[in-house]
Structure 1
Amino acid sequence: MIRVVLADDQEMVRMGFAMILDGAEDIDVVAQCADGVEAVEAIRRERPDVALLDIRMPRLNGLEVLRQVADITKVVIVTTFDHDEYVDRALALGASGFLLKDSGPQLLVSGVRAAASGDALISPQLTVRLLERTRARGVDQPVVPGFSDLTERELEVARLVAHGRTNAEIASELFISMGTVKSHLASIQTRLGARNRVEIAARVWESGHA
């Protein structure tokens, strides 16, 4: 069971997210918090597998909470605000995901599961912007090791990841099963030395394969 602490200053949002997550058979919301200080206390008390944090909260914002608890739990930022600097700061502090509140129930559940399993998930509409910024900061296209080892199908999967596609979308687009997508992703991570799908995407953009 994936134990989750949920923090958002809007009660209706908390209730909605809790209903979605508790509806998943493998997720249990163990605490709900209305501000950042409550969130830090709950995370230290409950030691959850994942913490879902809003960014703008009273007393302590979500990014500061993340900074304080990143060594205790996996953190997924869930917010209305898609400002680039929030995304960059959250990932730099070690967030395991960044989701917009309007991403939908399926992505919310997927984000929690991904974080719990050591992966990272970012709302598709943010992924391309993030990786374009990563590429823009580079001077020349570096030679990224591992790409010559990818099969043609693995390169297709990696490119779709780089453009923000979910596993379900990749499976549909390439006419393959979800299990096959996951198998390809595992192989791609090994060949590229990437820890999760965000790093896969970053390497695709850095190498010019996007």
Structure 2
Amino acid sequence: MDRVRVVLVDDDQLVRMSLRLMLGGEADLEVIGEAADGDAAIAEVRRLQPDVVLMDVRMPGRDGLSATEAILSWPDPPRILVLTTFDSDEMVLGALRAGALGFVLKDTPPPDILAAVRTVADGNPALSPAATSRLITAATGPRSSETRRAAREAARARLAALTERERDTARAIAEGLSNAEVGARLHISVATVKAHTSSLFAKLGVVNRVQIALLVRDSEE
């Protein structure tokens, strides 16, 4: 069985040690490297080419958002799972907009963190209910009317390039529906849903469903 190769990024050595012990006890997961800041993370990820990066957001020096943006700009990058205490909501939102596949809170129970790592490794979003609630609060929090207007107009301009069925698919994805659930709602096959989703990635310039959801939210705010 191929193991999921993981790099841990956190400025707290005790957090990294706990995560290493947690993941190291699983037959299908392997911690292959660690980093304490964004610059070290970029270097380690480039050197080791992991499958998943468990990325803290608030660190001294280069933060996790900047490191995430840099890593996800590479061809065939690893999947990134944001690790946070949620004292920096805008950084988490920025990481998700940059293409991180999900996030977990640092006080998440170990089985849920392990499940999130596996989910992200499979290319699927990992947003726990508790964390998603915090994200929604952050995403819909106060912003200036000018900022909201600019984000809304930019999102609508990007969505305007879609066909009507692609827009329906995007809205369903934004609600968190699975491919099977999207197909049932739109009365189309799962294969057609996958084709529409691939088209969304190409037309919108996104790499995962989380980015689609955030774009739809911006267009409706």
Report the residue type matching 1:59 in the other structure.
G
Question: Identity rate of aligned residues, in percent?
Answer: 37
Q: Secondary structure at the match of 1:85?
A: helix
Residues 114-161 of structure 1 show CA distances to partners (whole Å, capped at 9, x for unaligned) of 111111112322323545747x9779xxx96369xxxxxxx9xx99x8
Aligned CA distance change for structure 1 residues 200 and 73 (closer, same or farther; 3 Å): closer
The yes-or-no answer on 1:67 pairing with 2:72 is no
Aligned CA distance change for structure 1 residues 127 and 57 (closer, same or farther; 3 Å): same
Which residue of structure 2 lines up, in the alignment, with residue 107 of structure 1?
112
Residues 59-103 of structure 1 show CA distances to partners (whole Å, capped at 9, x for unaligned) of 211111101111321111101125432232111111011111011
The yes-or-no answer on 1:187 pairing with 2:210 is no
Aligned CA distance change for structure 1 residues 129 and 23 (closer, same or farther; 3 Å): same
Query: C-alpha displacement at 1:20, in angstroms?
Result: 0.8
CA contact (8 A) 1:115 1:121 kept: yes
Q: Secondary structure at the match of 1:102?
A: coil
Q: Secondary structure at the match of 1:3?
A: strand
Q: What is the rounded CA distance, in whole Å, between the counterparts of 2:35 and 2:11 in structure 1?
A: 7
Q: Secondary structure at the match of 2:43?
A: helix
Structure 1 consecutive aligned stretches of length 4 or more whose deviation exceeds 3 Å: 128-134, 136-139, 189-206
Q: Secondary structure at the match of 1:30?
A: strand
CA contact (8 A) 2:99 2:210 kept: no
Which residue of structure 2 lines up, in the alignment, with residue 38 of structure 1?
40
Aligned CA distance change for structure 1 residues 107 and 26 (closer, same or farther; 3 Å): same
Matches within 5 A, 1:61-210: 61-70=63-72, 71=74, 72-131=77-136, 133=139, 145=168, 162=176, 185-188=178-181, 190=190, 191=193, 193=196, 198=210
CA contact (8 A) 2:57 2:64 kept: yes
Aligned CA distance change for structure 1 residues 74 and 65 (closer, same or farther; 3 Å): same
Residues 151-197 of structure 1 show CA distances to partners (whole Å, capped at 9, x for unaligned) of xxxx9xx99x85xxxxxxxxxxxxxxxxxxxxx93412544855877
Q: Secondary structure at the match of 2:168?
A: coil
- How many residues align structurally? 175
Report the residue type matching 1:7 in the other structure.
V
TM-score normalised according to structure 2 size = 0.64
Matches within 5 A, 1:20-31: 20-31=22-33
Which residue of structure 2 lines up, in the alignment, with residue 53 of structure 1?
55
Q: What is the rounded CA distance, in whole Å, between the counterparts of 1:201 and 1:92 in structure 2?
A: 10
Aligned CA distance change for structure 1 residues 203 and 106 (closer, same or farther; 3 Å): farther
Aligned CA distance change for structure 1 residues 99 and 82 (closer, same or farther; 3 Å): farther
CA contact (8 A) 1:82 1:100 kept: no
Report the residue type matching 1:14 in the other structure.
R
Gaps of 5+ in 2: 143-147, 154-163, 183-189, 199-207
Q: What is the rounded CA distance, in whole Å, between the counterparts of 2:71 and 2:209 in structure 1?
A: 23
